[in-house]
Structures are given as structure tokens and as C-alpha cells.
Amino acid sequence: MPNALDFFISQFRSHLDLSNEPSGYYRPRPYRNASVRFRNCALADFNERRDILINEAGLNTFLFRADKIPGCDLLSDSGTTTMTSEQWAAMIVGDEAYGSNEGYFELKQQVGETFGPDWRQKSGLRVGDREPLFIFHQGRAAENALFTVLSRELKKTGFPKPKPFSSDLLPQLRSRIENRIRAVKGQTVGPFEPFFVVPSNSHFDTTEGNIEDKFMVPLNLPCREHLENNENFPFRGNMDLEALENLLASEPGRVPLVYVTITNNTGGGQPVSMENIKRVREITRRHKVPFFFDACRFAENAWFIREEEKGYGDRRIGDIVREMFDQVDGFHISFKKDGLGNIGGAICLREDGAFTKRFPQFANELTDYQIMTEGHPTYGGLAGRDLKALAEGLRTVTRQDYLNLRVRQMQRFGDRLTMLGIPIVRPIGGHAIYIDIDKFFDGAGRDEELKGISFTSLLLIAGHRFCELGLYAFGSFDGRKEVPPEPRVNNVRAAVPRLTYEDRDLFAAAEAVKILHDHRDRIPGVRVDYGRDLKLRHFKSRFSFIM
Ligand code: F0G
């Protein structure tokens, strides 16, 4: 009866298309579990979590012990990936030679495969000869090295004297830069005046911290659609091109490099379009300023370009990735995200790029800094087995089936929250859901009450861990009152680890959020007991409920 079989096969096949909808369940996950981890705590242990949270952790979710979380731990998608069997297998055969281990060559090779041949050493696999790849133990170590060496290189040309801003600089940009200069100056003593400005669509907090640490001024230039909360614009991660053009035209010499963070983690995890990336390239090329990616979630960004941008629907993810990286002079990356690794980071410099040309000594100085702080360039702070796992992770991460599952799961999670009446930032990004705390409290919460902190604390008692990325993480304390970040962001983030949770786990977290939302008028504010005026304060502060 071949016709009946053909009929059923065509029925099965027609459902494949339906399952492209975010709500589709027809298509199974493209992998199955090879290992699982049972919890050693129960959802019903509410009072135990309350005690730990208040007495041990001081309402700081970073300080809460993970083994007491029975639900979803969505504090970060960083380093929390469940690795594949192939990655674990690669780790077992890891080569722990002190210099030039096997994993090093595999990672170099794979970086060239993934990001394109320009990111592979031109001279083959020789070590120490104009190598584009600099390995670090994680993203922020790479950032720290980049800005340490950059500030030294800039100093070599003599630090510019403070000078007034050009009258061509847009007034709102000028006032934002001046505010940031004041903030950076507040962290130092003496007559030093920060001069250099490093713009981005939005810097991550550690990038910002590393820039400020070298007395440079980080400046976020998110696109208009982002500031207007445009929920229908898929590329809300884009950079504001007019502002960038104005900054580079009116303040030449003040900008040592321009950044685009893919995807835009701070702004909502949304992607940056290929068009925007190419326009930034064009503007920076015209003004002779180097252009870098903070590339942590490059594969998720490429998935969105394929899905949403005209002309990319039939392209391979791998090709889109290479086209993206063709545009930049360098990038740094935390492999703890789209490297699918639990540890690792890197800086990559294009050999003939604008950055290398402008700072010809940079690579050499960077190697020295790397040797002093991380290790020999052939392992850069990682074990040989980690390098092997990363090479394997970079091979997996651009798989279309993996990315479909990854991003669509995020969309189902977000849709579930929306269905339950929770205000989330839209469109939904690739790695996390951002709950809009101002809207969650209907604008009734006062900034001083730091309701985002109260929200994450109560949710931990319920059994799930989210992360405040809003007034506390990005704002500051001026000695008298809280100063919200500019532009204002007030979110709580649920970042989903890769290959770790199933929909039902995430939906359980959504139910707990709904309970809080239903009774939001009873959520108390918090007072800061420690750390309010510290830099990177959200990692260290302690709070208590105002009852
Ligand atoms: N850049 C971006 C865009 C990031 O999201 C992160 C880390 C880093 C740099 C720093 O990398 O953690 O390896 O040192 N983001 C994590 C998060 C911590 O939770 O969003 P790292």
C-alpha cells in the first residue's frame, strides 16, 4: 500500500512547517540528554531559602548557594552551558602540555573556520608570529588586557590636554559624555581629565568597568527604535548611526575604537542587523576609527539576521557569521556564551586591520601582558582540555537545528510570560527574557526602593534565580540619592543556559513570576546595607527588606 504510506509521510512532512511556529511542539529537540543532575533540595523548602537569602546572602542573588535552587537558575547564560558528549570526549583526550598543546592548534583552526580565514594566521600554524588569536580565561580578562594595553599605547602618543567640546557635537551627547566624565573622574584623584570616549550600541557592565578603569569614557548609543521601545523592530540591538556619525565628525581623535555588542545583552539581548553592522563599518572607515565586536553571542545574532533580514533567509548561519566578522578590525569574545564552553575568552585582531595599523606595537604588548597575567599565548589561562572543548563548541554553535531550538525556546518562554500578563521587553532576544520592572510595578515603585532587587529576592524564595540588571546594576549613588542609568534601563533578566532546561522548567518559573505580579502591591522595597557607592556594586552589595 505505498499510496497510504505516501499519504502519511506527506502529512508528517506538512507538520514540520507548522512546527516552525514558536509554539510548535511537533519537532523534537535535535539532541537527547546524555547525563542529568538530580536536585538535592525541594521546591517546598521556602523557609530554608528565606533564611539563606536573608542571613547568608544579604538578598544578593549572586551570593545565594546554587545547590539550594530547586527551580531554574537563570542568573546567567554564561559558562552554564550543558556541554555535548563530543565536548566531554574532547576534554578527556585533552593535552596538558605546558606549551603548544594539541587543543591550541585545534582552537586556532576552528577560529578560522568559524569566523573566516582572515582570523587565521596567514603564515599557517606557526606560533608567536603575527598571531590573530589571543586566548584568555574569560571575556572580562580579554577586555581588561585590551584596555590596559590600549591605554598604554595611547599614552605613548602623549595624553591629550582637556579641550572644550566642539559646538557641532549634539547637545544631548555632550551632556551625557560630560556626566560620564564626572563619574569617571570621581573614581580617581588629582587633576586627571578623562578624554577618550568608547562608544557602543550598549556596553556590558564588565566592559564598561574596564574602560572606566583606564579613565576612558564608555558611551552607549542604542538606536532610536530601542529608546522608543519599538516592539515591532526586530533589530533593537542596533547602534544609533546618526549619533555615531556626529560624535566621530565633531570630536576626531577622541574615539580610539567603536564597539558593537552582538547581541545587545544590556539592552535586551536583541540582535544587530547586518545592515547596521555594515553602516558602522562605513562610518568608522570614513573617520579612520577601528571597529570591534564584543562577540559573545555571535551565533544567536546570525540566526536573527537569517530569520529577519531581507536577503539572508536562504543563507547558511556559518556564512552569515563570516560576513559579520568580515566587517570588523578585531573582536573580543567570552567563549562562555556562544563558545558553548564553561570557561574561556579571546581577543582576535585582524592582521591588516585599522586597529593593528593604528597601534602597530599592540599585538606584541598584548602578548607580553597575556604572558604576565594569564599564561603562555598557546594556552592563555586555560587548561588544554578547555581549548579542545571550545573548538568543539564553536563547531556546534552554528548548527541551524541547535539555534532554532535555542532561540525559539526563548520565544516560547517570553510568550508564556506575556500570556500571564507579565510586561517583558520585546522583541524577545536570543539568550534571555527581560522583565520591565517599571511596568511590572505600573510605575508605582520609587527608584529608591529598588524593587528589582525585591523582585529577584522573592523569586529566589519561590525557587528560581533571575538577575537584576536595572537601576542597581547600572545606576549609581551620588552620595545623597540613587542616579538611574542613562538611557534608563530597569530590567530583571532571566538568562537561559544553553542546552540545560526544558520548556516546562521555564514555564514553572513563569508561574512563580505571576504570583509576584498578582500581588505586586505587597512587594516591599529594600534598603542597601552595604556597598551602595562601590564600583560594580551589584556583585557585592547586601540588602534587607523594608518591612
Ligand atoms: N560582554 C558581554 C556582552 C557579556 O554578556 C559578558 C558576560 C562579557 C562581555 C564578559 O564575559 O563573563 O566571560 O567575563 N556576560 C555574562 C552575563 C556574565 O551574565 O551576561 P565573561
Report whether pLDDT(157) > 60: yes
Q: What is the pLDDT of residue 163?
A: 81
Distances (CA, A) of 228 to 225, 231, 245, 298: 5, 9, 20, 25
Q: Is 336 in the pocket of ligand 1 (CB under 6 A)?
A: yes
Q: Which of 261, 265, 301, 333 to mutate to test the pocket of ligand 1 (most atoms within 8 A of CB)?
A: 265
Q: How far is the CA of 205 from the centre of ligand 1 (A)?
A: 8
Percent of the chain scoring above 90 in pLDDT: 80
Closest-CA residue, ligand 1 atom 3, reads 204
Return the HEC string of 76-103.
CCCCCCCCCHHHHHHHHCCCCCCCCCHH
Q: Which three cell numbers stand for residue 285?
A: 572607515
Q: What is the pLDDT of residue 242?
A: 97
Domain boundaries, the chain: 3-70+399-545, 90-396
Contacts of 478 (CB under 8 A, 6+ apart): none
Answer with the residue of higher pLDDT: 253 or 49. Answer: 49
| Largest Cα–Cα separation, the chain | 88
Q: Is 342 in the pocket of ligand 1 (CB under 6 A)?
A: no
Q: Which atom of ligand 1 is nearest to the CA of 334?
A: 13
CATH class of domain segment(s) 3-70+399-545: alpha beta
* CATH number of the 90-396 domain: 3.40.640.10
Q: How far is the CA of 268 from the centre of ligand 1 (A)?
A: 14
**Average confidence score pLDDT of the chain:** 93
Closest-CA residue, ligand 1 atom 8, reads 139
Q: Which residues of 306-331 are buried (b: 16+ CB within 10 A; e: fewer)?
A: bbebeebeeeebbebbbbbbebbbbb
Q: Which of 138, 140, 382, 390 to mutate to test the pocket of ligand 1 (most atoms within 8 A of CB)?
A: 140
Mean pLDDT of 398-411: 95
Report whether pLDDT(126) > 60: no
d(CA 498, CA 405): 10
Report helix, strand or coil for 6: helix
Q: What is the pLDDT of residue 24?
A: 67
Q: Is 296 in the pocket of ligand 1 (CB under 6 A)?
A: yes
Q: How far is the CA of 166 from the centre of ligand 1 (A)?
A: 34
Closest-CA residue, ligand 1 atom 2, reads 204
Q: What is the pLDDT of residue 539?
A: 93
Decide: 465 and 459 in contact? Cβ < 8 Å. Answer: yes
Report whether pLDDT(106) > 90: yes
Report whether pLDDT(85) > 60: yes
449 DSSP 8-state letter: G
Residue type, 194: P
Contacts of 50 (CB under 8 A, 6+ apart): 461
Q: Is 327 in the pocket of ligand 1 (CB under 6 A)?
A: no
Report whether pLDDT(189) > 60: no
Report whether pLDDT(545) > 90: yes
Q: Is 110 in the pocket of ligand 1 (CB under 6 A)?
A: no
Q: Is 144 in the pocket of ligand 1 (CB under 6 A)?
A: no
Q: Which three cell numbers stand for residue 395?
A: 563547531
Distances (CA, A) of 276 to 124, 299, 303, 480, 502: 33, 17, 16, 40, 34
Q: Is 495 in the pocket of ligand 1 (CB under 6 A)?
A: yes
Report whether pLDDT(128) > 80: no
Q: Is 201 in the pocket of ligand 1 (CB under 6 A)?
A: no
10-19, 90-99, 205-214, 220-229, range with the lowest pLDDT: 10-19
Q: What is the pLDDT of residue 190?
A: 58
Q: Is 206 in the pocket of ligand 1 (CB under 6 A)?
A: yes
Q: What is the DSSP string of 339-359?
A: T--SS-EEEEE-TTSHHHHH-
Where does residue 120 fall: left (phi above 0), alpha (psi -120 to 50 degrees), or beta otherwise?
A: beta
Beta bridge partners of 346: 135, 333
19-23, 415-419, 514-518, range with the lowest pLDDT: 19-23
Q: Is 210 in the pocket of ligand 1 (CB under 6 A)?
A: no
Closest-CA residue, ligand 1 atom 1, reads 204
Q: What is the pLDDT of residue 160?
A: 74
Q: What is the pLDDT of residue 1?
A: 62
Distances (CA, A) of 82 to 187, 283, 300, 341, 499: 39, 40, 17, 8, 5
Report whether pLDDT(127) > 60: no
Q: What is the DSSP string of 303-348?
A: HHHHHHSTT-TTS-HHHHHHHHHTT-SEEEEETTSTT--SS-EEEE
Q: Which atom of ligand 1 is nearest to the CA of 138?
A: 13
d(CA 138, CA 381): 9
pLDDT tens-place string over residues 456-494: 999 999 999 999 999 999 898 988 899 998 778 899 999
Q: What is the pLDDT of residue 20?
A: 57
Mean pLDDT of 132-141: 96
d(CA 546, CA 541): 16
pLDDT grade for 375, boundaries at 50, 70 and 90: very high
pLDDT tens-place string over residues 415-425: 999 999 999 99
Q: How far is the CA of 75 from the centre of ligand 1 (A)?
A: 12
Count CB atoms within 10 A of the CB of residue 6: 10
The position carrying cell 523592530 is 233
Q: Is 497 in the pocket of ligand 1 (CB under 6 A)?
A: no
Mean pLDDT of 1-21: 79
Positive/negative CA dihedral, 534, 538, 542, 547:
positive
**Measured at the alpha carbon of residue 146, what is the angle toward residues 141 and 152, in degrees to the nearest 5?**
125
Q: Is 207 in the pocket of ligand 1 (CB under 6 A)?
A: yes
Measured in degrees and rounded to the nearest 5, phi and psi for residue 349 equal -120, 130
Beta bridge partners of 307: none
In this chain, the answer to whether the domains covering 3-70+399-545 and 90-396 adopt an identical fold is: no
Mean pLDDT of 40-60: 97
Report whether pLDDT(192) > 90: no
Angle separating helix axes 298-308 and 400-419, nearest 10 degrees? 80
Of 356, 442, 429, nearest to 201 (Cα)? 429
Closest-CA residue, ligand 1 atom 18, reads 78
d(CA 208, CA 211): 5
Q: Is 204 in the pocket of ligand 1 (CB under 6 A)?
A: yes
Q: Is 140 in the pocket of ligand 1 (CB under 6 A)?
A: yes
Count CB atoms within 10 A of the CB of residue 153: 17
Beta bridge partners of 89: none
Q: How far is the CA of 165 from the centre of ligand 1 (A)?
A: 32
Q: What is the pLDDT of residue 535?
A: 83
Q: How far is the CA of 204 from the centre of ligand 1 (A)?
A: 7
Residue type, 466: F
Decide: 114 and 394 in contact? Cβ < 8 Å. Answer: yes
Of 133, 129, 103, nearest to 120 (Cα)? 133
pLDDT tens-place string over residues 231-287: 999 999 999 999 999 999 999 889 999 999 999 998 889 999 999 999 999 999 999
Q: How many helices (H) and strands (E) does the chain have?
A: 20, 14
User: How does strand 491-495 pair with strand 467-469?
Assistant: antiparallel
Return the HEC string of 239-302.
ECHHHHHHHHHHCCCCCCCEEEECCECCCCCECCCHHHHHHHHHHHHHCCCCEEEECCCHHHHH
47-61, 253-267, 433-447, 532-546, range with the lowest pLDDT: 433-447
Q: Is 265 in the pocket of ligand 1 (CB under 6 A)?
A: yes
